[in-house]
Amino acid sequence: MPKRLRLTRRFPVAMTEDGYRRLKRFAADAGLDEGEALSFLFENFDSILDEDTFGHRLRLFNSELEARKK
């Protein structure tokens, strides 16, 4: 029987320091490594997303993005 969680994709990811620290903390709290934590988040994206605040937070992130790159 094949494994359900088979990590088959690897890709280079650029993350903010804040985002990476939060990912590491989430992964540690959940007993996962960072790749497993990302897989969980994206596989369950619709059920963990707060649709009321998502659009606002995305606009805010995008408006600050250029300043964060400097």
Asked whether residue 4 is domain-assigned, the answer is no
Does some domain include residue 40?
Answer: yes
The pLDDT tens digits for 13-30 are 888 899 999 999 999 999
Domain contains 35: yes
| pTM recorded for the entire structure | 0.75
Name the average pLDDT for the chain: 88
Residues 18, 21: Cα–Cα separation, whole Å: 5
Residue 29 lies in a domain: yes
pLDDT tens digits, residue range 37-50? 999 999 999 999 99
Answer yes or no: are the C-beta atoms of 68 and 16 closer than 8 Å: yes
Q: Does a structural domain hold residue 2?
A: no
Residue-number span of the structural domain to which 54 is assigned: 17-69
Total residues belonging to the chain: 70
Asked whether residue 27 is domain-assigned, the answer is yes
What DSSP line would sit under 9-67, residue for residue? --------HHHHHHHHHHHHHHT--HHHHHHHHHHTHHHH--HHHHHHHHHHHHHHHHH
Number of domains in the chain: 1
